[in-house]
Structure 1
Amino acid sequence: MEISAAGRLEVSITPADVGKRVSVRRLSEPGTAREKFTDTVGVLTSWDGGVLMITRRDGQSVRIAESALVAGKVVPAAPARRRGPAASYEELARVASHGWRPLETERLGEWELRAARGFTRRANSVLPLGDPGLPLDAALAAVRRWYGERGLPAYVQTATGAEGTQELLCAELERRGWVREVTAEVWTAALAPVADRAEGTGVTLSRRPDETWLARYQRKGVSEVALRVLCAGPSVWFATVPGGEGEPPAAIGRCVVDGRWAGFAAVEVDPGRRRQGLATEVMAALARRALDEGASAAWLQVETENDSARALYTALGFTPHHTYHHYRAPNEAPTDHPATADSDE
């Protein structure tokens, strides 16, 4: 907190600091016998009518009355990273988009409109990396028209929690009634330690998913469109650990190699075979192949409530980089494709 020369806490932020990362302290129970202090760190997204709005790393917005502030200051745009490969948000966003390609794209300024007939939000949402070339209301109207022409609800994919992320856009979407449906995180790690976990226990790799692989992935509603998305990317590999005779695989996974990055997805294990190290084996085998192709860094996406996956990825050396969200246009029904609720988004 900011402390004056006299030793008192002071508020050194103003409405001119909107868009900057700040740290504030406020009275959470003003006027009571047991007043409490609460600290909030995030991006100051507005300061209107005596109320501040701060968007935290996880995308949650906090309303704070100006009268409750006891201290506040601008802090560095993003905390220093202690582990994992250095990477900007924009670099990771582009790599993630390359690894989950839609069937159709169109540019709106620096925004990329993506569509794949409703298979996953990631392939059917706007990736807004820069200026759309129009005022925001006009850009959002154009987005809604584009998706409406394809019989799809309009989604915008945004991110929070790292340098260059889109807290201000999130706040503007929320003001306009856009509905946040999904929050997940992008984690990164050095690739070699993941590959070192391989023990050579029966993981097979292929360039396309066969019927047995798809049998384990089938709950996501595999269709011809889904196959085209799954198989698209700079260098795509599918991993399989065989199951029992006539049974789906015990475990599967997918990896896309794109330059220095290896992106992991669709890591699934038969519920009856969990806690046997199979997910680690799948990821390690894919990581070794990615190393052979020149990759050195790894990324993946994990839902915020998937505790078992988060524990696995932590053990493999992954750490959170940023949080991402999907906002749906107001008064539009969400797409009903079963894949939109899974970890592949």
Structure 2
Amino acid sequence: MEFLAGGHAEVRITRADVGKRVSVRRLTGGGAGEPTFTDAVGVLTSWDEGVLSITRRNGECVRIEESSLVAAKVVPARRSAATPHGVAPPSSTEPVRRRGPAATARELQQVAARGWPALETERLGEWTMRASGGFTRRANSVLPLGDPGVPLDTALERIGQWYDERGLPAVIVVATGRADTDEELAAALAERGWADERHTRVRISALAPLADAGADTPPGSAGGAPTRVALSREPDADWLALYNRTGEADRNDEAAQNARKVLTGGPSVWFATVHDPDGGTAAIGRLVVDGRWAGFAAVEVAPAARRQGLATLVMAALAERALTEGASAAYLQVEADNTGALAFYDRLGFTDHHGYHYRRARPGGGRH
């Protein structure tokens, strides 16, 4: 890893580089059996009170004391700069741009869980019980990745008790559709009376073509290029109002607070907003970057602003942001009966990877 400039190591990053992919070298002591320096590469996700947080490609978060930095720099984006029309010229990176992502269902489940983190978790063997005050099924369900460490009926009893204590229904998310998913668990839960609901498709795509998608939007219909999309680290009240799943917009409301915490959680999160000519919120979206993966969610367009290409512009702007942070693959989750959204993401090049659904215990029983 080379940091030298004019023969001297330099720290060439600042707090303004939060959200960028960086390479850092820090002093680690150099005691017996220890290296003098340690290197880390990843997204600089925060820099607060003298501590940097860097998220690596595998989702691991490394905390580094500012005082230990020896050298640091921003890692240039892999993708060449776009032309004014949003289309990158041919370059040596083009084969990477064409190559689609490959992943196991387990990898995507882990990435998606980090990108939509629950406020409270507890392990049960290799399963994770998650709760977030009821805000979304994803953040209030059990993620079963492997063996619960106890017989299934015992696990279900413990799960039921855990969710009862929090005033929430006992729900387990079950992945299906691939050799490495949970068809056996789905069948076992069905036998025990756990009802299925909310069938969803996990879809993936190469990331770079999404960043170019906005170039195909007619300038007259949506007002121009993706520069109309504003990106921020926090959702404002108008963003939350259009998303319409966060309860009351009052920051002091517990439900709204829970929603904000989930929405802003994750390795590197961005919120996109498109304003209409009157200053209203016309379209929104959410992005979380986690290593090579860019997760898209909450893409919504106000009824009066539909059929203008705004959802495409939002996706393109968020994809461009993810590319600058070193991501190369995209994923999202769409309910299986949302035909409009499925058709939209088809046009953007997304394909199905696997599916999942939720299994809920019957009221008053059915846990074992």
TM-score, normalising length: structure 1: 0.70
**In 1, Cα distance between equivalents of 2:364 and 2:319:** 40
Give ranges in structure 1 of 5+ residues lacking alignment. 1-82, 334-345
Give 4+ residue runs of structure 1 displaced > 3 Å after superposition.
none
2:173 maps to which residue?
157
Residues 1-345 of structure 1: pairs in structure 2 closer than 5 A: 84-198=100-214, 199-221=225-247, 223-245=256-278, 247=280, 249-331=281-363
- Counterpart AA for 2:276: G
After superposition, the Cα gap between the structure-2 partners of 1:196 and 1:246, relative to the gap in structure 1 and judged at 3 Å, is: closer
**In 2, Cα distance between equivalents of 1:311 and 1:188:** 14
Kindly state the Cα deviation for residue 169 of structure 1 after the two structures are TM-superposed.
0.3
What does the per-residue CA deviation read over 1:155-201, in whole Å, with 9 as the maximum and x for residues that have no partner? 00001101210000000000000011210100000000001123324
- Counterpart AA for 1:268: E
What does the per-residue CA deviation read over 1:199-253, in whole Å, with 9 as the maximum and x for residues that have no partner? 3240000000012212212354250100000000000000000024253x11000
**In 2, Cα distance between equivalents of 1:184 and 1:150:** 25
**In 1, Cα distance between equivalents of 2:276 and 2:187:** 47
- Counterpart AA for 2:196: R
- Counterpart AA for 2:129: L
Give secondary structure in 2 for the equivalent of 1:197: helix
Kindly state the Cα deviation for residue 84 of structure 1 after the two structures are TM-superposed.
3.6
TM-score, normalising length: structure 2: 0.66
After superposition, the Cα gap between the structure-2 partners of 1:297 and 1:144, relative to the gap in structure 1 and judged at 3 Å, is: same
**In 2, Cα distance between equivalents of 1:162 and 1:173:** 18
Give ranges in structure 2 of 5+ residues lacking alignment. 1-98, 215-224, 249-255
Q: Does the 8 Å CA contact 2:204/2:350 hold for their aligned counterparts?
A: yes
Q: Does the 8 Å CA contact 1:84/1:319 hold for their aligned counterparts?
A: no
What does the per-residue CA deviation read over 1:11-51, in whole Å, with 9 as the maximum and x for residues that have no partner? xxxxxxxxxxxxxxxxxxxxxxxxxxxxxxxxxxxxxxxxx
After superposition, the Cα gap between the structure-2 partners of 1:184 and 1:218, relative to the gap in structure 1 and judged at 3 Å, is: same
**In 2, Cα distance between equivalents of 1:98 and 1:255:** 12
Q: Does the 8 Å CA contact 2:226/2:314 hold for their aligned counterparts?
A: no
Give secondary structure in 1 for the equivalent of 2:276: coil
Quote the RMSD (CA, aligned, Å): 1.6
After superposition, the Cα gap between the structure-2 partners of 1:332 and 1:272, relative to the gap in structure 1 and judged at 3 Å, is: farther
Q: Does the 8 Å CA contact 2:135/2:246 hold for their aligned counterparts?
A: no
- Counterpart AA for 2:244: Q
Kindly state the Cα deviation for residue 308 of structure 1 after the two structures are TM-superposed.
1.4
**In 2, Cα distance between equivalents of 1:84 and 1:322:** 15
Q: Percent identity?
A: 62
